[in-house]
Amino acid sequence: MTQIIQVATVLGGTKKIGVYEDLGVEMAPYSTLCTYLNILLFLIPGGYGIEGGMHLTTGLVSAAGSTAARPADIDEDGYEHGYRVTPVTGARIINGLMPCNSIPEEILSDHPDRFRAMLIESANPIHSLADSQKFQEAFEALDFLVVIDVAMTETAMVADYVLPASSQYEKYEATFFPTEFPENFFHLRKPLMTPKSGTLEEAEIHARLVEALEVFEPGELTPLAEAARQGLDPFAEVMGPAMRDAKIRTYLPYVLYRTLGPTLPDGAAPGGAASAASLWGLCQLLSMSYPDEVRAAGHEGDSPELGNNLFQAILDSPSGVTILKQAAGDASQWRKPDGKLHLLMGEMSDEIDYLAKYRLPTRTDEFPLILSAGERRLYTANTLIRDPEWMKSNNPASLFVHPDDAAELGIAEAAQANLVTKRGRAQVVVELDDRLQRGTVALPNGLGLLYPDRDGKNETFGVAPNDLTDIDDRDPWVGTPWHKHVRARLEAVG
């Protein structure tokens, strides 16, 4: 308690505050409230939008998000009204996204609007989301399931169709969450090798699906394609008026891919830059939303020329380029028209009122331990690399246990034990680690994947954490699973 008071005193007496939040509090009880309180840590003392304080970073995707309509109305007491919800469970849809933990309940129902079909791209929910057993049951109950992926994942194994995509080394790709400030950076990565035969880039897969649905008439996009062949400036002149068409706006990534895409380096050839055409629209939005900041990064002109120049700079910069440059104190995001920050969120204010009464869920004799189901370690990579041969650690799949807890249970270093939760059990190898708090154990993330051995037979390496997690253990506001707070017990073997 003394340390907490000392830290609070320091934070309350300075405006030079840096706060970074990650998965620990985001996957534990009261995660949404923790996020709100973390934001208040720098807002209340005045540590936002000043030298040495906090700033919001701006990138290509955040510029697109700034043009979206507000999803709900907020009354004077900070409560949201009119937000969208899912059809079966009524889960709140935030920024167009529904809580992933609600998916099985949206399927396993007799509700007339239940989910009956899904298209899953570059994701493996059966392995990566809480309660693998429940997701397996739900996906098998769908009328139709299509998976687009680079590997035969656990989710792909139950799909009706699997559409194989080219790997990340065989196509143009980019990361959309850089957090540099004041100079923000963007890197369009070029392919390193020719795509494997029988695979397609995701952009081509989606384009063919749109064309199979006959969304556009033959020749409807020809004027745009002809303008693109003349250059970016003629294309922008024609594209501006075309954007008044609701269908063009709805299918803009497809329109850019099929019209502007073929004119980019290597055109629409496998591994060509056509899939980068959608960046043109994002560059235009960024240059319209933050023209001064884009020019400060060295890009010239006014819109749409400014957006064209930014797009061309991205294409011409194999090692990446600064897309905009902001300044300390430039903090218009979050501010209302009156220039103020409105700190009150009604639901979170109600939660704060209960903090004094809050106690962590009781540890029972049946489950006296708290399992962190998915700890990042030196040799884990989410599920990016499925082949276990890359893991060179002596024991990358072990369960970390505090030495005192292991001694009480009569479990020695490197011994096997059964890890049990209310949803399942797994055999683990124990590794003693006094960095843990007593009563806490930790499994690595990214393991428990099926992978063929030298004979082509699928084997599992390590424990899949979500075989042990429960879909009901989740944040009540946004549905985040409590991966860092799974009640468990450890049983000695033999």
Are 14 and 47 spatial neighbours (Cβ–Cβ below 8 Å)?
yes
Q: Is the CB of residue 142 less than 8 Å from the CB of residue 107?
A: yes
Model confidence over 213-249: pLDDT tens digits? 999 999 999 999 999 999 999 999 999 999 999 999 9
Domain edges within the chain: 2-55+332-355, 92-325, 360-492
* Total Cβ atoms within 10 A of residue 36: 18
- What's the one-letter identity of residue 477? W
d(C-alpha 434, C-alpha 367), whole Å:
21
- Yes or no: domain 360-492 corresponds to CATH 2.40.40.20: yes
pLDDT band at residue 391 under the 50/70/90 scheme: confident
Token readout for 137 is 């049951």
List pLDDT tens digits, range 377-387: 887 777 888 88
Kindly report the three-state secondary structure assignment for every residue of 320-335. CEEEEECCCCCCCCCC
Which tokens hold the place of 270?
């496998």
In the prediction, which pLDDT does 65 show?
63
Per-residue model confidence as pLDDT tens digits over 405-417:
999 999 999 999 9
Q: Which two tokens stand for residue 200?
A: 């397609």
Give the pLDDT of residue 67: 47
Could you report the per-residue pLDDT of 196-205, keeping only the tens digit for each? 999 999 999 9
- The distance from CA 299 to its chain's CA centroid, rounded to whole angstroms, is 30
Share of the chain above pLDDT 90, in %: 69
